Amino acid sequence: MKISLIIPAYNEEKYIADCLDSVIKHTEGKLHEIIVIDNASFDRTHEIAKSVPGVRVVHESKKGLTRARQRGLEEATGDFLAYIDADTRMPKDWLKKVESIYVENSKAVCVSGPYHYYDGSGFMTALMHACWWLSAPITYRIVGYMVLGGNFVAKKDALVAMGGFDKNIEFFGEDTNIARRLSEHGDVIFRMDFFIHSSSRRFQSEGLIKTNVAYVMNLLWEIIFHKPFSQEYKDVRLDPNK
């Protein structure tokens, strides 16, 4: 499998080095390429990422997660594109699981799985882990597709066939949008044992309940109405300048 790993990064100087270190350590040179999309950062993200051997840094001047994802799609040369967040840390068997899941599922166009959190209090970490187990398997069984934006690997030709990433979506709802549209081209697999370690910083800064409500509402809106609930969604398709 020729896997291109793509890491969107906006002002991630505190996290990007540990992320890349874990990638280099646990993939052992088996990735086709590693690309960091510097998404209009104004800190040392670009400098730190560029200093890591084997890592290609691409500057995307227009800020936005989906714009960074799309730039990665356009830059990557692998047959499979893996997307992880800049504050994640890859477990040692991550790459082997990708390969085995695709072997087991010949119709799969995407594989994804949950976060395991490496920081925060013990109580919060346990609570968030429980939330994953209580919600994700049921949702996936009912809906039939699920993607976590910070931990998924998709076939490049399927991403191209679906028209790439929706750059009108700023943040919330973008992963469900990816899952829904990819499901039209094959199976979207979500496995609880295919996890990646992640920071819980968003839950710590914005609150556990508020953040979870935002994710749930945007997931439901994307499934039912095919657009996110969040006001950050800006429909500019009729604007020829966008």
pLDDT tens-digit map of 177-212:
999 999 999 999 999 999 999 998 877 777 667 776
- What per-residue string of b and e applies to 187-200 under the rule 16 or more CB within 10 Å gives b? ebbbbeebbbbbbb
Greater pLDDT, 146 or 228:
146
Chain centroid, CA 241 distance in Å: 28
Residue 233 lies in a domain: no
Quickly count: other Cβ atoms within 10 Å of residue 51's Cβ.
12
% of residues, the chain, pLDDT over 90: 73
> pTM to 2 decimals?
0.91
Minimal CA–CA distance to 80: which of 177, 183, 153?
153
Spatial separation of the C-alpha atoms in residues 241 and 192, rounded to whole Å? 42
Quickly count: other Cβ atoms within 10 Å of residue 204's Cβ.
15
Spatial separation of the C-alpha atoms in residues 112 and 191, rounded to whole Å? 6
Residue 239 lies in a domain: no
User: Which one-letter amino acid corresponds to residue 141?
Assistant: R
Q: What is the total count of domains within the chain? A: 1
For residue 95, what is the enclosing H or E element?
Answer: helix 94-104
Spatial separation of the C-alpha atoms in residues 60 and 180, rounded to whole Å? 26
**Per-residue confidence (pLDDT) for residue 212, from 0 to 100:** 66
Query: Which pLDDT band holds residue 163 (cuts at 50, 70, 90)?
Result: very high
For residue 242, pLDDT over 70 is answered with no
Residue 230 lies in a domain: no
Residue 235 lies in a domain: no
For residue 61, pLDDT over 70 is answered with yes
State whether the Cα torsion 218-221-222-226 is positive or negative.
negative
Residue 42 lies in a domain: yes
For the domain that residue 188 is a member of, what is the CATH number? 3.90.550.10
For residue 237, pLDDT over 70 is answered with no
SS3 2: coil
Residue 198 lies in a domain: yes
Summary mean pLDDT of the chain? 90
**Per-residue confidence (pLDDT) for residue 67, from 0 to 100:** 96
Residue 234 lies in a domain: no
Q: The tokens of 202 are what?
A: 């968003």
Residue 206 lies in domain: 3-225
